[in-house]
Amino acid sequence: MLSLIKLPRVLTINQVPKVFHEDGIISGYRYPYSSAQDCVLSLFQLTNETLNIWTHFLPTWFFLWKLLMVLVEEDWRDSFCWPLLVFLVSCCLYPLASSCAHTFSTMSERARHICFFFDYGALSFYSLGSAITYSSYVFPEKWVNSTYHEYYIPAATLNSIISTGLACYSRSSVKSAAKLGKGLRIVAFTFPYLFDNIPLFYRIFVCTGEGCTVNEATAVHYQHTSLALLTGFLFAMHLPERLAPGSFDYIGHSHQLFHVFAIIGTYFQMTAIELDMTLRKRWLKAHSQPITFTNTAGAALLCVASGLCIIYIFSRELVSGRTKKDNDLKRSHFSAASDSR
């Protein structure tokens, strides 16, 4: 069937505007002003984005299946399972948003930015989903019911909202300095990650003696923490394509590896959270602060609503103020393509 359909042709880095360039990637670019249909068709041909899309689209269905299994097997009316449900929803949304962003990011420069705004919002929501489960299941016994524990979720919610805003700003407003924009995005996602993981880092790396909560989940926490650090390194360093530009255009470049290790890390994170949830349930119900709508779904809804407002504000600026610039870029691209013929 696909043999009867004319697939969009792929281009080299010299045939696409600079805004679409990726460090160390020389070929395999899709046409920068593709239709939505061409974007979907490109899923079935090998480009430098194909594996970026599939490595997040397929895991979305695994996490959705896991969410449905929890809804069926657990008593979701019991507030103790609410944090896990919020976390699993975030695990479904962030790979789905990422795969959609990579799929439709070549429709225009403006569409590219807006697509990744949603990607950033979903990542921030995932960060908060992690924090909600950590507050409910992962905190070391020594810190349970402390002042820090009391303000942990409000602070994590604020961090997630700021993260979305800073990431969107780094893409829409920092145009002339791509490295500065990338640096701001690294900061935007690194700070919430470090804050959210303070209880876990203390528990597995620092805490000794009684009240440190050493159980079967500890080894799995080490695994997903290691993978998280690896994904951050790949995102920041653009390896291996930086060492051999053009050699990893289609398979093996850093963003593909980043996606793969991020998903594996999320799986290990989910496993560790479920182990803590099961092994510590009796103690946490007896000693920890109550799990309520406010510190679970309420915080998640606030994060989502705020993120959508931020995305709307930045998107509206692009739609209202950048249309002429986008059309000029398109005309210049057509002119350059005609001259090259």
Residue 125 placed within a domain: yes
Domain that holds residue 238: 49-340
Phi, psi of 231 (to 5 degrees): -65, -40
Q: What is the pLDDT of residue 8?
A: 82
12 strand-pairing partners: 27
What's the DSSP call for residue 289? Answer: P
What pLDDT is recorded for position 1? 45
pLDDT of residue 317: 86
Q: How many separate domains does the chain show? A: 1
Predicted local distance difference test score (pLDDT) of residue 82: 96
**Tokens read off for 257:** 């590896």
The CB density around residue 287, as the number of other CB atoms within 10 Å, is 11
Report, in this order, helix, strand and coil percent for the chain, each rounded to 5: 75, 0, 25
Written in H, E and C, the secondary structure of 247-285 is: CCCCCCCHHHHHHHHHHHHHHHHHHHHHHHHHHCHHHHH
Q: What is the pLDDT of residue 328?
A: 55
Structure tokens at 76: 């979701």
Q: Are 232 and 190 in contact (CB under 8 A)?
A: yes
**205 domain residue, yes or no:** yes
Does residue 137 sit within a domain?
A: yes
**pLDDT tens profile 118-131:** 999 999 999 999 99
**For residue 327, what pLDDT is reported?**
55
What's the CA gap between 240 and 247, in Å, rounded?
9
Under 8 Å between Cβ of 118 and 98: no
Residue 8 lies in a domain: no
In a domain, 160, yes or no: yes
CA distance 184 to 169: 9
Closest CA to 238 of 84, 61, 23: 23
CATH of the domain at 201: 1.20.1070
Are 253 and 48 within 8 A, CB to CB? yes
Tell whether 9 is covered by a domain: no
Q: At 11, which helix (H) or strand (E)?
A: strand 10-12
**Are the C-beta atoms of 46 and 28 separated by less than 8 Å?**
yes
Does the residue 277 lie in any domain? yes
Identify whether 36 is part of a domain: no
204 exposed, middle or buried (CB, 10 Å; 0-12, 13-18, 19+)?
A: buried
Tokens representing 248?
A: 């990893």
- Enumerate residue ranges in the chain where pLDDT < 70: 1-5, 174-177, 321-341
Amino acid identity of residue 312, one-letter, is Y
| Structure tokens given for 208 | 């000794």
Nearest 10 degrees: Cα torsion 68, 70, 73, 78: -120
- Judged by phi (left if over 0) then psi (alpha if -120 to 50, else beta), residue 145 lies in left
